[in-house]
Amino acid sequence: MGGRSGLGEFELLVMLTILRLGEDAYGVPISREIEQQTGRTVTFGTVYATLERLQKKGFVRSSLGEATPERGGRAKRFFRVTSAGLRTVRETKRNLIRLWRGLPELEGGLA
Amino acid sequence: MRRSQAAAGWIIERLGLDAALAGDLIEECAAGRSAFWYWRQVLAAVWAGVWSGILNHKLLALRAVATGCAVNAIWLYLWTRFLHIGLTRTASFDSFVSLLAILLTQAATGWIVARTHRAHAIPMVCAFAIWLLVWAPGSFDSPYFRMLLVDSLDQPRFRPYLARYLAWFFVPIAVEIAGLLAGGAIAARANRQSFQPAQN
């Protein structure tokens, strides 16, 4: 996990959030969604550093939107999960479920 | 707030971070976030940007340190050869000229390091600055400092000497780092589009 081809915990959170948001996945909603779903405070710098890493791994791709005056003339950068990224998320899920099964401490509830 | 947003945007872009990040922060401010939140986010982005820049390009960081050391060796040679002054422990003309020389030479060093590492200019300048900070304690005269510190505890008349020693030690380091960062910032190109869309 967290290696060159695998996914770290925060990387997985970001990937799942991009998938949940669909077309509207850019910095602001990604950060807000992670905060709402996990209750943890995230900084935009961390989110962008993670997105850059995921992009280098080929798991996400990005495209620029239009520059708007409300954003100080800066464009939004929209992120999409690539097919390689989707495969890795599925593989990570399978691995986690496999590890989860048969653990008496974790059976009978989510916590 | 608008002026500080422009300043923060300038810092973010000079660092080679994504301009969209600056736009996201401005959008959040417009949605009611405080100035404290904004600057916390900017500092966190700068911190993350510098560290990831250094950690993701370790060899480049080593090259930046080597470049900085080589340039500083030239400055040191020129200083000892032509500038026969040094920092004194009291405020003097020699100290002022020395600090000015440190500021200008380190700005030039920062500029050269940034220009020879254009893709990651500021993180590489910071790598060299960190290197200098790591080496700085080597010139710290700890027995003298310990003596002053112990004497100052119960004898107030030694406190000005302690303050003077600390200033003599830390002011040149602060000037050195400020010069490096200023030179690096001047040389760094604004990089509005650091992300290259992945081909898939």
Give the nearest partner residue to B48 out of A49, A70, A82, using CB atoms: A49
Nearest to B178 by CA among B120, B96, B104: B104
Six-digit token string for B101: 């020389």
pLDDT at A100 over 50: yes
User: What does the pLDDT look like over B43-54, one tens digit per residue?
Assistant: 998 888 888 889
Separation between Cα atoms, residue A79 and residue A50, nearest integer Å: 12
Chain B CB contacts of A72 below 8 Å: 5-6, 9, 22-23, 26
Q: What is the DSSP letter of A65?
A: E
Does the beta-carbon distance from A43 to B18 stay under 8 Å? Answer: no
User: ipTM of the assembly?
Assistant: 0.83
Phi, psi (degrees; rounded to nearest 5) at A107:
-85, 150
* Number of domains within chain A: 1
| Nearest residue of chain A to residue B42 (CA atoms) | A45
Q: What is the CATH number of the domain that holds A23?
A: 1.10.10.10
Instruction: Establish if A108 belongs to a structural domain.
Output: no
What is the domain extent for residue A80? Answer: 9-100
Phi, psi (degrees; rounded to nearest 5) at A13:
-60, -45
Four-point Cα dihedral B155, B156, B158, B161, nearest 10 = 160
Six-digit token string for B129: 């600055």
User: What does the pLDDT look like over B88-137, one tens digit per residue?
Assistant: 767 778 888 889 999 999 999 999 999 999 888 888 999 999 999 888 77
Does the beta-carbon distance from B20 to A60 stay under 8 Å? Answer: no
Determine the 3-state secondary structure of A101 from DSSP.
coil
Does the beta-carbon distance from A44 to B9 stay under 8 Å? Answer: no
Does the beta-carbon distance from B6 to A26 stay under 8 Å? Answer: no
Separation between Cα atoms, residue B77 and residue B72, nearest integer Å: 9
pLDDT > 70: percent of chain B: 90
A24 in reach of chain B (CB within 8 A): no
Yes or no: say if A18 and A80 are a contact pair by the CB < 8 Å rule: yes
Q: Give one word for A72, left, alpha or beta, with left for phi > 0 and alpha for psi -120 to 50.
A: left
B122 in reach of chain A (CB within 8 A): no
Instruction: Establish if A88 belongs to a structural domain.
Output: yes
Instruction: Establish if A1 belongs to a structural domain.
Output: no
**Among the listed ranges B71-75, B134-138, B147-151, which one has the minimum average pLDDT value?**
B134-138
Buried residues in A39-65 as b, exposed as e (16+ CB within 10 A): eeebbbbbbbbbbbbbbebbbbbbebe
The letter for the amino acid at B68 is G
Phi, psi (degrees; rounded to nearest 5) at A25:
-85, 95
Q: Tell which of A24, A71, A81, A87 to mutate to test the B interface (max B CBs under 10 Å).
A: A71
The predicted model gives B60-67 an average pLDDT of 96
Determine the 3-state secondary structure of A81 from DSSP.
strand
Does the beta-carbon distance from A75 to B52 stay under 8 Å? Answer: no
Yes or no: say if A49 and A56 are a contact pair by the CB < 8 Å rule: no
Determine the 3-state secondary structure of B116 from DSSP.
coil
List of residues 6+ apart from B131 with CB closer than 8 A:
B65, B68, B69
Instruction: Establish if A110 belongs to a structural domain.
Output: no
Does the beta-carbon distance from B27 to A52 stay under 8 Å? Answer: no
B26 in reach of chain A (CB within 8 A): yes
Separation between Cα atoms, residue A69 and residue B164, nearest integer Å: 51
- pLDDT of res. B190: 46
| Nearest residue of chain A to residue B37 (CA atoms) | A43
Does the beta-carbon distance from B26 to A70 stay under 8 Å? Answer: yes
A76 in reach of chain B (CB within 8 A): yes
Scanning the structure block, which residue is given the tokens 């401005």?
A: B26
- pLDDT of res. B197: 44
pLDDT at A1 over 70: no
